[in-house]
Structure formats: structure tokens, C-alpha cells
Amino acid sequence: MKKSFLLLLLVSVIVSLGFMLNQKRIKVLVESVHELDSLSVVSVEHQFGEPLPNHYMGKYDADLAEIGAQLIHEGKASYGDKNGKLISSYFKCTDCHNLVKETAKLTNLDPQDRLDYLVENGLPFTAGSTFFGIYNRSTYYNDDYYKKYGSLVNAAKDTLANAIQLCAEYCASGRKLVDWELNAILHYFKKHELRLRDLNLSDNQKEIILKALQEDKNQAEALEIIKGKYVHRYGATFTGAKIEKERGYGENGDIKNGEKIYKAACMYCHENARVTYLDLNDDVLSGKFLWKHRKGYDDLSIYQVVRWGTYPIAGRKQYMPLFPKEKMSDKQLEDLMAYIKKLAKK
């Protein structure tokens, strides 16, 4: 009898806990399809049974998000009575990352479409992935990043906060963020989390999602629709430099496309040595310099530096990040060489 009572008590506790946890589930209330646009993707997915991300924050601080924006744009900020110092003397977040979407359709990862969209919108063609939608991603420093950062990616791979710290301390050749700085950047990412309006949903897909929210039916179908509309992780394949006999040296490259890459990528950092010791311009001298070093495997060869980047060293902490093939294709690399060849008037 006593055992039965204890068993019944245990079951009651479990049921009560389950009920309490269920009450904590975010409930999204919408009356019409027109109200969907502003809904948080995270909150809608959660109502459909998806767990909340480990960086989820229920309360949003707009003032703290503004501090985060300042840290991202300027590399330092002050908060209350705390006077911040530069995170890095060499880089700011925006040297490697755009803050807005990079293609019209979020799931389009084609590097040429990305280039065309960025150039059309006056944005740089960077080696890093955009911060747009980073709050909604599930993994970071994916695939071949372990080749550059080794075991450091283990703690950063599945945790946004740790990924930010890895970027600040190692990628930016800077320092670890203090708690309020990290919190501010997380609030900035929260501010710019994906909304349903960002997903290019069709009218039919919106109706399915609305019905799932209102009637708690066909939620799996609605969840699949949403999750298929944005990037959950960015791949990174480090191909290494091609051997010399496989290089085209721009022979069949598209010169006009190469000019886009040169101006949107190379000049973004190298013009007037803005973020680097190497000063390049859109002139014949720069063309001749780069063409002269096209062969071999040193840091001055475009084939080498695009695919391997460089590493920070004592006395020269500024370095060049590599372009994985997902960010610059082999064809685009040959297009770039074709333009450099023209620039050198060869």
C-alpha cells in the first residue's frame, strides 16, 4: 500500500512538472495571416515543438543592443560606469562580416549570386558569413575550421556565446570579452533575429503556419516549411592552393566578374592599407605586383593567400582570413586573376 502511494505520488509530481514546463512554452497568438510577418522565428518554432536555443533570451534590452551595435561597428563601447577598451587593435567585426542578408533568398548559398547581390547593394565581398540571422543558427565554426583553430572550435561549435569569444580573441587577434560586452552583442543579435517576414513565405505557406498556430494541427508540416527557409549553419571547405599546373592564371576568366571581386573584396581591406600592411589600389602598379607573384605558394600569391590566408605573427597581428570555397569559387578565383592580368596590362 505504501509503495503504491509513493508510486502515485511520484507520477503526480512528474505530471505536475510536465504541466509546469508546458506552461512555459511560448504561446504565439495571431488572428490573421497579416499578423505573421513580425513573429519571431524562434518563438514560432518553439510552439511547434522545437527546443529553444541555448542563447535564447526572453527579455530584450534595447539599450544594451545599441551598445552591442557600437561594439560591432567600432570595436569598443562604454556602458554605465564601465569604460570599455578596444576588443582588438587590428580588426572590427565589420572587417570580415556583413550585418545584413547577402542574397535575396536566404537559402541561396551560391557564391556568384552572393557576389552579385553584395555588389548591387554596395556591400563588401567578405570571407566571413553574415551576422544576419546568426541568432537562429544552430552551429558555428563548422567543417574545416578545425584545421585552422584546432580544438578551440569544440567549445564554440554549438554555442553562440563561445563562438563570439573565439572570434574576438583569436580571429580578431584581440581579447576575451567581459560579461557586459558579450551580453550586449547577444542582445544585438537578438534584436536582429529572423522574423517570418524574412523567409519569403508564399501565401499558401503562411496559411499553413497560421492554421498550425491557431489550431495546433499539422505543426510538423509548418515547422518543416519554416526550417527550410533559412540557413541553420554555414559550411566551410578549405581547399588549399591549387598546384601550379592546375592554375589557369586567368586564361579563361571573366574579367568583368574579376573586377567585381577585386573591388568588393581585395580593395575593401587593402585600399590605402585600411586593414592590412599591404597597400593596394586599382592601378597598374598593384596589378603588376600581384601578377608578378602569381606563381608559387608564398603569401603574395593570390592562389595561396585566398585559399590559405595568413596567420597573425608577433609584430604583425593583422592577417588575412581565407576564403572557403563556399565564399569564393575556383571560377571566381580565376576571374580575379583575369582582372589582375588586365590590370597589369599583360
pLDDT digits (tens, 9 = 90+) for 263-315: 999 999 999 989 988 999 999 999 999 999 999 999 999 999 999 999 887 77
Three cell numbers written together for 31: 488572428
Q: Backbone phi, then psi, for 195, in 5-degree steps?
A: -115, 160
User: What pLDDT does 26 receive?
Assistant: 56
Q: Tell me the sheet residues that pair with 82.
A: 79
Q: Cell 518553439 belongs to which residue?
A: 46
Residue 22: pLDDT over 80: no
Q: Backbone phi, then psi, for 219, in 5-degree steps?
A: -70, -35
Residues 300, 337 within the same domain: yes
Q: Average model confidence (pLDDT) for the chain? A: 91
State how many domains the chain has.
2
* pLDDT tens figures, 183-196: 999 999 999 999 99
Q: Which domain holds residue 312?
A: 244-343
The DSSP string of 216-239 is: --SHHHHHHHHHTTS-S-------
Residue 23: pLDDT over 70: no
Q: Tell me the sheet residues that pair with 316.
A: 313
Among 196, 211, 236, identify where a domain stops: 236
Collapsing DSSP states into helix, strand and coil, what is residue 257? helix
Residues 324, 181 within the same domain: no
Q: Backbone phi, then psi, for 56, in 5-degree steps?
A: -60, 140
The stretch 49-54 carries a mean pLDDT of 96
Residues 299, 217 within the same domain: no
Residues 224, 302 within the same domain: no
User: What pLDDT does 13 receive?
Assistant: 36
Does residue 127 form part of some domain?
no
Does residue 8 form part of some domain?
no
CA distance 172 to 165: 10
The stretch 309-333 carries a mean pLDDT of 91
Does residue 87 form part of some domain?
yes
Q: Backbone phi, then psi, for 150, in 5-degree steps?
A: 55, -140
Does residue 104 form part of some domain?
no
* pLDDT tens figures, 68-80: 999 999 999 999 8
Q: What is the CATH number of the domain that holds 300?
A: 1.10.760.10
Three cell numbers written together for 146: 578545425
